[in-house]
Amino acid sequence: MAEFTMELNDEQKEVRDWLHGFAADVIRPAAAEWDEREETPWPVIQEAAKVGIYSLDFYAQQYFDPTGLGIPMAMEELFWGDAGIALSIVGTGLAAVGVLANGTEEQIGTWIPQMYGDPADVKVAAFCSSEPDAGSDVAAMRTRAVYDEAKDEWVINGTKTWATNGGIANVHVVVAVVDPDLGSKGHASFIVPPGTPGLAQGQKFKKHGIRASHTAEVILDNVRVPGSCLLGGKQKLDERLARARERARAGGGERVKNAAMATFEASRPAVGAMAVGTARAAYEVALDYAKTREQFGRPIIDNQGVAFQLADMRTQIDAARLLVWRASWMAVNGRPFTAAEGSMSKLYASETAKTVTAQAVQILGGNGYTREYPVERMHRDSAIYTIFEGTSEIQRLVIARTLSGMPIR
C-alpha cells in the first residue's frame, strides 16, 4: 500500500509538466473556437492521440498509479486548459471505467482498445446510464434488456440521454434493467459493439457550457448484442441477482451495488479533479488581471475587497484538491469510503468551481462578462460539475446517509 503524500514524485511531476504544456500549447489556443462551434474537436483529440495522451496505455498508467494521484493530476491539468475540449479527450474514460469496474479480463482486453482506436483513426466511447425520467433516480430506469436464451443474445430497448459521445461513439456501454422487481439492484451493463443495428443518435443537446463536448440521446430499438457483451458474464449476474432476491425476501439491507453506481463511485474524485482544474484556471486569470488592472491610480489587487476574494479562492481550490487526492488515494489502495469521502471530494470541488469562476468574473468586471476573456467560458463550464455524475444534492444525500446510517430521503 502506497503511503498518502501531498508531494508528487519526480515521474509524476514530469507527466504533470508534459500535460500542462499540451494544455497550454494545444488545448487553450483552440478553446474559444470549439466552444463557439459546439462540435467535437477531432483535430485536438487526434493531436492528443499522437503524443500519447489519448490512449489506453496512458490512461492505464495513471489509473493504476499506486499513489492514486495519476488520474486527478492528469484531469486537473487538462481541464485547466479547457473543460469542453478536455471532456472530449477524457470522456471515453467513463465508458472505460464502466468496463474496468464490471467486466471480465477478456472483456477489458477486447473492448477498451476499440474505444480509443489509434492516432491515425481515433475513436471515442460513450457510457449510457441517464434517461429522460431517470437521472439521479436510477431506480426509475426503463431501458430493458431481455435475454434470448435460444440465440444467447440480449435484446435492449429504451432511450438514454445526456450521454457524452452518445451516437458518435465506436463503443457504447449501456446500463439496462434485467429484473424490474429488484429496482436499482436489477441493473446490468452491456457493450454495444460498433455498427450494431438498432442503435441511433437522438437529439444532440445545445448546452450552456462544455460545448466542445458532444452530448446526445441514444435510441436503442431492438438492439441485439451477443451474450458475451454482458459485462461480468451471465453467471456473475445470476449470482448477484439471486443474492439481491434473497435479501429482499429476508427484508435485509441490500448492499450489492448496481452497475451504474459502481462506475460513478469510481469516477467521482476524477470529476472533482476536473472542477479543480477549471477553478484554478479562473483563479490564475483573475490574479493576473488584478495585478495589472489599474483603477484610481493603483492595481485593483491593492484593495482588500479584491485581495481577500483571491485569498479565499486559492484556499478553496487547495482544500478541494486535498479532498480529491485523499479520495483518490483511498480508492486505489482499497480503503472504504466510510464517510463517503468520494462524494465529499466531488461535492466540495464542484461547488468550489462554481464559486471561484463567479468570483473571477466579478473581479474582471465588465471584461469578465465578455467572451474576450476566458473566465466567461470557465464560469459557464463550471455549472456542469454540480450536475453530472451525481448532483450536489445527491452527494449530500450520500454523505448524510453514510454518516448517519439512516435511509434519509
| Per-residue pLDDT reduced to its tens digit, 277-325 | 999 999 999 999 999 999 999 999 999 999 999 999 999 999 999 999 9
Question: Which ranges of 23-104 does DSSP label H, i.e. alpha helix?
Answer: 28-37, 42-51, 56-63, 70-81, 83-90, 92-102
Residue type, 330: M
Residues 327-357 pLDDT 10s:
999 999 989 999 999 999 999 999 999 999 9
CA 102 from centroid of its chain's CA atoms:
17
Per-residue pLDDT, averaged over 19-42, amounts to 98
Residues 186-204 pLDDT 10s:
999 999 999 999 999 999 9
Listed residue (33, 94, 76) closest to 353, CA to CA? 76
Which residue do the cell numbers 484554478 mark? 280
Q: What local confidence, expressed as pLDDT, does residue 97 receive?
A: 87
127/241 Cα distance (integer angstroms):
22
For 93, half-sphere exposure in the C-beta direction (CA atoms, 13 angstrom radius) is: 27
Band of residue 256 on the pLDDT scale cut at 50, 70, 90: very low
Band of residue 379 on the pLDDT scale cut at 50, 70, 90: very high
Per-residue pLDDT, averaged over 367-384, amounts to 98
Q: What local confidence, expressed as pLDDT, does residue 254 receive?
A: 45
Percent of the chain surpassing pLDDT 90: 86
Residue 22 gets the label, from left (phi > 0), alpha (psi -120 to 50) or beta, of alpha
Which residue do the cell numbers 438514454 mark? 160
Fold of the CATH domain 10-122: Butyryl-Coa Dehydrogenase, subunit A; domain 1 (1.10.540)
| Correct CATH for 259-404 of 3.40.50.2000, 1.20.140.10, 2.40.50.100, 3.90.1200.10 | 1.20.140.10
Give the CA distances from residue 393 to residues 114, 318, 351, in Å, rounded to whole numbers and listed in that order.
35, 23, 11
Listed residue (183, 201, 125, 187) closest to 154, CA to CA? 187
Per-residue pLDDT, averaged over 231-257, amounts to 82
Percent of the chain surpassing pLDDT 70: 96
Band of residue 138 on the pLDDT scale cut at 50, 70, 90: confident
Pairing of strands 125-128, 171-177: parallel
> Is residue 230 predicted with pLDDT exceeding 80?
yes
CB 286 within 8 A of CB 317: no
Q: Which residues are catalytic?
A: 389
Per-residue pLDDT, averaged over 245-268, amounts to 66
Grid coordinates belonging to 141: 430506469
CB 385 within 8 A of CB 278: yes
Band of residue 1 on the pLDDT scale cut at 50, 70, 90: confident
51/89 Cα distance (integer angstroms):
13
The CATH 2.40.110.10 domain(s) of the chain lie at 125-250
Residues 52-69 pLDDT 10s:
999 989 988 998 899 999
> Is residue 176 predicted with pLDDT exceeding 80?
yes
Pairing of strands 153-164, 199-204: unpaired
Per-residue pLDDT, averaged over 135-154, amounts to 91
Per-residue b or e along 44-57, where b marks 16 or more CB atoms closer than 10 Å to that residue's CB: bbebbbeeebbbbe
The CATH 1.20.140.10 domain(s) of the chain lie at 259-404
Listed residue (21, 99, 15) closest to 58, CA to CA? 15
- The SS3 of residue 382 is helix
For 26, half-sphere exposure in the C-beta direction (CA atoms, 13 angstrom radius) is: 24
pTM: 0.94
> Is residue 365 predicted with pLDDT exceeding 60?
yes
| CATH number of this structure's domain 125-250 | 2.40.110.10
274/83 Cα distance (integer angstroms):
8
Grid coordinates belonging to 171: 463503443
Q: Report which DSSP code applies to 253.
A: P
> Is residue 259 predicted with pLDDT exceeding 70?
no
Which residue do the cell numbers 437521472 mark? 135
Band of residue 9 on the pLDDT scale cut at 50, 70, 90: very high
Band of residue 162 on the pLDDT scale cut at 50, 70, 90: very high
Q: What average pLDDT does the chain have?
A: 94
Q: What local confidence, expressed as pLDDT, does residue 3 receive?
A: 85
- The SS3 of residue 337 is coil
Band of residue 5 on the pLDDT scale cut at 50, 70, 90: confident
